[in-house]
Chain A
Amino acid sequence: MKMKNSIALVLIVMFGIFLFHIYERYQTQTALNKTAAYYNSKAPAETGAANVVTSIVVTYRGLDTLGEVTVLFLTAMIVGYILRQRGKAKTPKNTTSEILITAANILIPGSIILGAYVFINGHLTPGGGFQGGAIIGTAIGLMILANPIGNIQKTALHYIESLSGFTYILIGLAGLILAGGFLDNRILPLGNLGELFSAGAIPIIYSLIGLKVGSELSSILASINETTNNTAKS
């Protein structure tokens, strides 16, 4: 035990020295680098999105976002596979306190609407598909916590997830045919900067990502909740 502690101490000290070196050399940048300057000056005109971060995430680096969504999809699938349910689990009694149930009933609809608001306005305000999806996932988590014996329709979640993922790819391919390249947002008119219906396909793509992320996180939480401890008994 003492050996373990001293190793941990040495690691912490080394990490501290490492961080101190970074801190010592740190200088605040006074100008944007070349790529950032390009994005900052050209992004609103080229993509029509008021939020430059969103225009980078969805359009310029759209392929990376597709990769992130794929990673999350694989995670949800693997969690669902490992925690899959053989046979019917007996349902325990709902022992949740009345306070949590009442608070959850008030908070859940509002949280889901907030999540939808965040991803629909992804091209105007901070936030977007991932954040909105995570807020929706949190709302579903609260639902599970308040009513653990309730049944969540995982089939519906899987359909939403697959359909939005498929449509996302189709929009990307439409960009290849109708506009400049894969996931180009100019397949729809860019509109006026700062309006809800602007920035071409960005609001649609971000809404699809939001739905996909939200349903994936919800299905992960639902499969964790539904699993029973089979390994301990066998």
Chain B
Amino acid sequence: METFKLIMMSTLALVMIIAAIMAVSSKEMPLAILASGAISLLTSIFFLVLASPDVAMTEAAIGAGLTTFLFFIILRKTEQDSHENEK
């Protein structure tokens, strides 16, 4: 059981690092936003394993949910404005 947990957590940590690299280096903006949301989601799984469900819920709701939507709304907003300025 202990080894299974260790393997699972290491895999999650690896995926988190890959997502972090993707968020920084990706040329596609939506992909970078989704990657940073995925980091928050995986962090919330870590909090859940560390027996703090309240913090896990905060992380999932704010980090993965709200921030991702905020970034998408702003991304759309800035793209719209740059189109308007080009005209």
| A131 and B66 alpha carbons, distance in the complex (Å) | 11
| A131 and B58 alpha carbons, distance in the complex (Å) | 5
What total count of A-B pairs have CB within 8 Å? 62
Contacts A92-B80, A138-B65, A138-B66 given; does A224 touch B73 at CB 8 Å = yes
**Is residue B62 within 8 Å, beta carbon to beta carbon, of the partner chain?**
yes
Interface residues on B, range: 20 to 34
Which residues of B49-79 have CB atoms within 8 Å of chain A's CB atoms?
A: 53-54, 56-58, 61-62, 65-66, 69-70, 72-74, 76-77
**Is residue B2 within 8 Å, beta carbon to beta carbon, of the partner chain?**
no
The answer to whether A232 and B81 touch across the interface, beta carbons within 8 angstroms, is yes
| A128 and B53 alpha carbons, distance in the complex (Å) | 11
Shortest distance between the CB of B48 and any CB in chain A (Å): 9
**Is residue B28 within 8 Å, beta carbon to beta carbon, of the partner chain?**
no
Please give, as numbers and ranges, the residues of chain B lying within 8 Å of A142 by CB-CB distance.
Answer: 69
Shortest distance between the CB of B14 and any CB in chain A (Å): 18
The A contact surface, by secondary structure, is helix
Chain B positions near chain A (C-beta within 8 angstroms): 53-54, 56-58, 61-62, 65-66, 69-70, 72-74, 76-77, 80-81, 84-85
Most buried by A among B58, B69, B84: B69
Which residues of A110-148 have CB atoms within 8 Å of chain B's CB atoms?
A: 118, 126-128, 130-131, 134-135, 137-138, 141-142, 144-145, 148
| A217 and B85 alpha carbons, distance in the complex (Å) | 29
| A137 and B56 alpha carbons, distance in the complex (Å) | 17
Please give, as numbers and ranges, the residues of chain A lying within 8 Å of B85 by CB-CB distance.
Answer: 229, 232-233
| A64 and B58 alpha carbons, distance in the complex (Å) | 17
Interface residues on A, range: 20 to 34
The answer to whether A134 and B69 touch across the interface, beta carbons within 8 angstroms, is no
Find A126's partner among B53, B65, B73, B77 (CB 8 Å cutoff): B53
The answer to whether B65 and A134 touch across the interface, beta carbons within 8 angstroms, is yes
Residue of A nearest to B74 (CB): A224
Residue of B nearest to A229 (CB): B81
**Is residue A225 within 8 Å, beta carbon to beta carbon, of the partner chain?**
yes
The answer to whether A127 and B57 touch across the interface, beta carbons within 8 angstroms, is yes
**Is residue A43 within 8 Å, beta carbon to beta carbon, of the partner chain?**
no
The answer to whether B65 and A135 touch across the interface, beta carbons within 8 angstroms, is yes
